[in-house]
Structure 1
Amino acid sequence: MKLDNKKIFETLNPNKVWVPVLIGIAIVFGLFYADPNVNAKTLKGVFDAAPIGIFLAILVILGRDAGYIYRIREITDRQLTWTRALYVIILWEFASAVTPSIVGGTAVAVFILNKEGIKLGKAMAYVMVTAILDNLFFVIGAPIILYFAQGNIFPESRLMEMRLGKSLEVLFWSSYALYAIYSIVMAAALFYRPRVFKWILVKLFSIKWLRKWKYDAHEYGNQIIEASKELKGKTIKYWAPIVGATIFIWSSRYLMLNALISAYDSLTFYEHVIVFARQVIMWIVMMISPTPGSSGTAEFFFTQFFTEFLGGYTFVTSILWRLLSYYPYLLLGAIFLPRWIKQVFFVKKES
Structure 2
Amino acid sequence: MAFVIWLTYTPGVLTHLKAKRLPGLIIAIVVSFMRLGFSAAKIRYLSEKVLDWMGSFRVMLSWDFTSSITPSVVGGAPMATYAMTKEGFNFGQSTAIMLFSLLLDQLWFALAVPILLISGIFFEVVPSNTGFIGHASMMLLYIGLLSYAGLMAYGVLKNPNAIRKVVHWLLKLPFLRRWKDTVAGEIDNLVEYAHELRKKPKSFLLKAFFLSTMSWLCRIALPTIVVLSLLPADVILSVLRSLAMNLAFLIMPTPGGSGGVEGLFAIFQGPLMDRKAFIGLAVFAWRVISYYISIGLGMMATTWYINRSMVDTLSDEAAKEKIESDLPS
TM-score under structure 2 length normalisation: 0.82
What residue identity is the alignment partner of 1:167? I
| Residue equivalent to 2:136 | 170
* Aligned pair partner of 1:318 in 274, 283, 287: 283
Shift of 1:81: 1.2
Correspondences of 1:296-335 after superposition (within 5 Å): 296-312=259-275, 313-335=278-300
| Residue equivalent to 1:129 | 100
| Residue equivalent to 2:319 | none
Query: How far apart, CA to CA, are the structure 2 residues paired with 1:46 and 1:89?
Result: 35
* Aligned pair partner of 2:56 in 80, 85, 89: 85
> Which whole-Å deviations, capped at 9, do the CAs of 1:273-301 have from their partners, x for residues lacking one?
21121122222332221110001111112
Judged with a 3 Å threshold, the aligned counterparts in structure 2 of structure 1 residues 288 and 232 are, in CA distance, closer, same or farther, namely: closer
Structure 2 unaligned segments of length 5 or more: list them: 317-329
* Aligned pair partner of 2:222 in 238, 248, 256: 256
Correspondences of 1:30-69 after superposition (within 5 Å): 30-33=3-6, 35=7, 37-42=8-13, 50-69=21-40
| Residue equivalent to 1:155 | 127
DSSP-derived class of the 2:89 partner: coil
On the 8 A contact 1:121/1:230 being kept in 2, the answer is no
Query: How far apart, CA to CA, are the structure 2 residues paired with 1:214 and 1:178?
Result: 28
On the 8 A contact 2:160/2:195 being kept in 1, the answer is no
What residue identity is the alignment partner of 1:78? K
Query: How far apart, CA to CA, are the structure 1 residues paired with 2:48 and 2:314?
Result: 25
| Residue equivalent to 2:235 | 272
| Residue equivalent to 1:20 | none
Please say which of residues 167-176 and 291-300 is displaced more in the overlay: 167-176
Percent sequence identity is 21
Shift of 1:229: 2.9
DSSP-derived class of the 2:256 partner: coil
Query: How far apart, CA to CA, are the structure 2 residues paired with 1:193 and 1:114?
Result: 24
What residue identity is the alignment partner of 1:336? A
| Residue equivalent to 1:4 | none
Shift of 1:47: 6.6
Which has the greater radius of gyration?
2
* Aligned pair partner of 2:112 in 125, 132, 141: 141
Query: How far apart, CA to CA, are the structure 2 residues paired with 1:45 and 1:337?
Result: 41
Shift of 1:344: 5.2
Q: What is the count of residue pairs matched by the alignment?
A: 308
Query: How far apart, CA to CA, are the structure 1 residues paired with 2:20 and 2:281?
Result: 10
TM-score under structure 1 length normalisation: 0.77
Judged with a 3 Å threshold, the aligned counterparts in structure 2 of structure 1 residues 301 and 237 are, in CA distance, closer, same or farther, namely: closer
Judged with a 3 Å threshold, the aligned counterparts in structure 2 of structure 1 residues 44 and 333 are, in CA distance, closer, same or farther, namely: farther
On the 8 A contact 2:83/2:305 being kept in 1, the answer is no
Query: How far apart, CA to CA, are the structure 1 residues paired with 2:175 and 2:192?
Result: 20
* Aligned pair partner of 1:244 in 200, 210, 215: 210
Query: How far apart, CA to CA, are the structure 2 residues paired with 1:201 and 1:85?
Result: 27
Shift of 1:215: 6.6
On the 8 A contact 1:202/1:214 being kept in 2, the answer is no
Query: How far apart, CA to CA, are the structure 2 residues paired with 1:350 and 1:201?
Result: 32
DSSP-derived class of the 2:253 partner: coil
Shift of 1:227: 4.7
What residue identity is the alignment partner of 2:232? S
Please say which of residues 185-194 and 110-119 is displaced more in the overlay: 185-194
Judged with a 3 Å threshold, the aligned counterparts in structure 2 of structure 1 residues 79 and 44 are, in CA distance, closer, same or farther, namely: farther
Query: How far apart, CA to CA, are the structure 1 residues paired with 2:19 and 2:106?
Result: 37
Shift of 1:140: 1.1
> Which whole-Å deviations, capped at 9, do the CAs of 1:282-332 have from their partners, x for residues lacking one?
223322211100011111121111122223321101110101101111111
| Residue equivalent to 2:322 | none
On the 8 A contact 1:125/1:230 being kept in 2, the answer is no
